[in-house]
A and B are shown apart, each in its own frame.
Chain A
């Protein structure tokens, strides 16, 4: 099973769908039904020596999405986010923030993004409030009251130096600093890495609550399926710098299924593709319409962890 065939069925790549599949709704019809894109990446390429960290990466984050960006370690998540943040420039491709296309983000674009990095490297001599004052000078839309409210809500001591905060508090402070400018888009780069399970769950709850109350769009990366399942409504799965799936969690569940257990055909019928046996058994992938076209085929749904492993684990061997 080649990567191209997996990509072939993806909703984000309808143009590449095999001709024998039943067509879904027209693209135009979907576009009119969907909210506008806040972040749109097209064919991003970034090469480090012999490594293609991004290899034609395309994805769309729509207004109001909580977009889970999944991938194994080294799949290219952080490179992609650094390109979205304008920290590094893609070798090819474009990025559009709210429809404004550019190869590299301007500062005006960056002011529309709140960012929480994987590790927090605050100025150790600054207190939480001083950090707020410093960041406030960089965002015209900074809401001081909101920041104070967040400090209280997150139970953060305003006058304590950042070097004296625990890891969990530092992440919450980073989130407060990202939210206070009221940016339309929040980008979180594996924000829960390094947190204990309690702190992780608390952080995710804060994010979910924040999104519900403010209506912000959230793009967050992770390699933990349960995190994504907890808060995301759309996911993108990246592997070797390319997106191998983009869509809702429901679509993901319906697309990847284990065939059997009684009669397993030797090869998948048209519209479906076989995945390597990374999780045991025979796993096929295809759009729900393709699965529906073969009612005689017995299959079972998989847990999200198994789906993730089935999709990206194929390269492990």
Chain B
């Protein structure tokens, strides 16, 4: 009986089959013609996946629409219902027909390509089988997912979203798309390493296709054989909520698994590696230029700071830290490398220069470790200033210099009132000055409420148990700065402001002489419109007094949206002589672009690079 129904469907959609046949012929013809234009060694069988990826999504969606939707739209399903046919039979027959037709089309294409290959070169049987296995598995997956989407009707959108979320989670977890089931079959080593058919991907792809087909079958046969295309009309609210809950649960579970999936630690492959494992941390240093003794001294200091950090924050195990020597880097600049597949934090720095005064490097490393430990949350939340200040505070830096940086920040109008917008503080002042400001606040709290209060503040934020983001956003304590200060340091923001201003005044008096040497830095940019669409940036610097033979930088970055978070690592830097106080940026922009622009220069009295004149704007 099902065969009888399938024959009917086959005849009913004859026009669609013809269109699809023409489309496939056109695709095959175009690719075949293209293949004749290039004399290379690649087998012509390799055209199959290209045709497959272009053709099958169209085929499966057209098939799905024709087979499942037309019957409902024309209400002929009501005629079928009156006959000795169950809906389940009717729709499972359509599902099978869809798969058969899809496979039939692919078999036709495969047959043609075998013939086409045979015309110019001998057909390598092994390659032919390899192509058939790979392309066949992918074809079944595309078909089954396309038909599932058709079966789901209006609920196919959650399916697409779920696939996108899954892909995002996979990529976020360090996965390589080319290693993923169908992509691995069609991209990795396809046609060149025929002896390495990725069996795991092959079976994974076939299993996914089977799951999609089974899910389609279940949906088609459940609830009196009514189909999911009708579910929109027939689903009870409780069922809709149930489906949404299942999808959300799957997404949440996937997020949990992705967050907690253990990774293998990173390992240096080069020579000159020294490592040390502490109770709560482990550090490895790789440098070809540092002596073994110097490396071990740096290792001692690193481990010392990290162990202290972990103990104070009550963190059982910090992610492993890897410091890689990069002699070509400017001293004082550090880069965190991306480790997608391995566990740990890898930082590149000019270790030859840094090992003499490694505080900045170690603070940077500790901050990155905290980011990794909190899965990036410490950076994103309003309490981000603590993440910046606490490792610095623990490292016991040069207090005089740190206060000087805080005074510079205060003179620029920043203070405790800006804690809730820490990103803007960093963006406007640069990270070293912002860190000095944050440190001065912790120092003030330590002076007023005791060092234990500082530890408590850090522990409840940076040392908080790592919980899944969903759970954390729903249930965790997310007190703002004022509430946190009152709770942990018995000090509200106003009281902190008063105490901090007193401390700033005290330090200002103590460092009056050296503060006077810091130049007043100012700069502005304006826009010129050479054409109606093009915009050029002119800058003008005002330094008082102007330091001789110094350079300054114009920092800029186009933003997708005006309030896009600024990725410091991707800031563009154009270097200019201080003497040239006026100039033009060589790069031009489109009218209406969103742009971040700032000036920066190294101020010896502050011991760091200082940022000024920062602004975000939409180019008029």
Contacts and interface: CB of A to CB of B under 8 A. Distances in A.
Given A111-B84, A138-B1, A121 B79 contact: yes
Given A107-B84, A107-B85, 14 more contacts: A87-B81, A108-B84, A115-B82, A117-B78, A119-B75, A120-B79, A121-B74, A121-B75, A121-B76, A121-B79, A122-B79, A134-B4, A138-B4, A138-B83
Contacts of B1: 107, 137-138
Question: 6 smallest A-B Cβ distances: which pairs?
Answer: A110-B84, A137-B4, A115-B82, A121-B75, A111-B84, A121-B79
Interface in A117-143: 117, 119-125, 134-135, 137-139
Interface size class of A (residues with CB under 8 A): 20 to 34
A256 interface: no
Contacts of B124: none
A121 B78 CA distance: 7
A87 B79 CA distance: 11
B81 A123 contact: no
A312 interface: no
Contact of A123 (B12, B84, B86): B12
A139 B1 CA distance: 10
Contact of B82 (A85, A88, A124): A85
B8 interface: yes
B84 A117 contact: no
A314 interface: no
A107 B224 CA distance: 13
Contacts of A139: 84
A43 B77 CA distance: 28
A137 B1 CA distance: 7
Interface string B209-233: 0000000000000001000000000
23 contacts: A85-B81, A86-B86, A87-B81, A87-B82, A87-B224, A107-B84, A110-B83, A110-B84, A111-B84, A115-B82, A121-B74, A121-B78, A123-B12, A123-B76, A123-B79, A125-B12, A134-B4, A135-B83, A137-B1, A138-B1, A138-B84, A138-B85, A139-B84
A269 B540 CA distance: 111
Contacts of B86: 86, 107
A259 to B, nearest CB: 45
Contacts of B74: 121, 123-124
Interface in A78-110: 85-89, 107-108, 110
Contacts of B84: 107-108, 110-111, 138-139
Interface in B81-122: 81-86
A244 B224 CA distance: 29
B82 A89 contact: no
Nearest to B3: A137
Interface in B45-101: 74-79, 81-86
Nearest to A124: B74
B85 A89 contact: no
Interface residues of B, number: 17
B314 to A, nearest CB: 55
Interface string B6-34: 00100010000000000000000000000
Contacts of B85: 107, 138
Task: Decide if the interface of chain A is mainly helix, strand, loop or mixed.
Answer: loop
Given A134-B8, A137-B1, A122 B76 contact: yes
Contacts of A138: 1, 4, 83-85
A88 B82 CA distance: 11
Contact of A119 (B12, B78, B81, B224): B78
Nearest to B79: A121
A125 B77 CA distance: 15
Interface in A43-98: 85-89
Nearest to B225: A87
Interface string A128-162: 00000011011100000000000000000000000
A124 B70 CA distance: 12
Contacts of A115: 82-83
A117 B12 contact: no
Nearest to A109: B84
Contacts of B12: 123, 125
Interface in B308-355: none
Contacts of B75: 119, 121
A250 B188 CA distance: 84
Nearest to B226: A88
Contacts of B4: 134, 137-138
A117 B76 CA distance: 12
Nearest to A116: B82
Contacts of A121: 74-79
A135 B76 CA distance: 13
B361 to A, nearest CB: 68
Contacts of A108: 84
A256 to B, nearest CB: 34
Nearest to A82: B81
Interface string A168-198: 0000000000000000000000000000000
B87 to A, nearest CB: 8
A139 B8 CA distance: 15
Contacts of A117: 78-79, 82
Contacts of A116: 82
A119 B79 CA distance: 9
A58 B4 CA distance: 36
Contacts of A124: 74
Nearest to A107: B84
B224 to A, nearest CB: 6
A117 B78 CA distance: 8
Contacts of A107: 1, 84-86
A117 B75 CA distance: 12
Max count, chain A CB within 10 A of own CB: residue among B4, B74, B83? B83
Q: Which of A87, A115, A135 has the most CB of B within 10 A?
A: A87
A244 B78 CA distance: 29
A137 B74 CA distance: 22
A146 B74 CA distance: 29
A130 B211 CA distance: 37
B61 to A, nearest CB: 22
A87 B85 CA distance: 9
Contacts of A135: 83
A204 to B, nearest CB: 20
Nearest to A136: B4
Nearest to A105: B84
Contacts of B8: 123, 134
A293 B28 CA distance: 90
